[in-house]
């Protein structure tokens, strides 16, 4: 099981990547949202984490990084929206629509 270290001003957090639901960017800060744990905000950019978390994460929007195993559904009519198992809804940018749909279809293929 893969783990990463999140460095905040007060602590180092060793987290399992499977426990990350999604990350949200706020300029040079990134907030991590977890299964059964409080969010953690770090001072690294989301770009840094998108390069680190390449196995099971997608970047559907410049402000978000999502664990693909946490995606419950994809609304494809109108604006594309990812609904996560947590109930959170993540927008998909127009530029990333095709890529995200291809990843979802690939996941579906492997589950059959």
Q: Kindly report, residue by residue over 57-88, the tens digit of the pLDDT.
A: 999 999 999 999 999 988 878 888 999 999 99
Domain 3-111, CATH number (from 2.40.50.1020, 1.10.1740.10, 3.40.50.2000, 3.40.50.10470):
2.40.50.1020
Q: In the chain, what are the domain boundaries?
A: 3-111
109 alpha-carbon distance from chain centroid: 21
Q: Is the dihedral of CA 80, 111, 65, 97 positive or negative?
A: negative
Is 0.75 surpassed by the pTM of this model? yes
- What are the helix (H) ranges across 1-112? 46-52, 97-111
- Sequence-distant (6+) residues with CB within 8 A of 12 are 5, 6
Pairing mode, strands 64-67 and 71-75: unpaired
Determine the 3-state secondary structure of 111 from DSSP: helix
């Amino acid at each position: 099981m893969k783990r990463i270290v999140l460095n905040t001003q007060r602590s180092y957090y060793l987290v399992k990547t499977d426990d990350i639901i999604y990350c949200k960017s706020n300029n040079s800060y990134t907030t991590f949202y977890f299964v059964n744990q409080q969010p953690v905000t770090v001072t690294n950019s989301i770009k840094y984490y998108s390069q680190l978390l390449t196995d099971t994460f997608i970047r559907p929007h410049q402000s978000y990084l999502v664990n693909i195993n946490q995606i419950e559904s994809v609304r494809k009519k109108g604006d594309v929206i990812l609904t996560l198992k947590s109930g959170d809804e993540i927008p998909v940018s127009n530029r990333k629509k095709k890529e995200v749909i291809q990843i979802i279809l690939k996941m579906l293929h492997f589950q059959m």
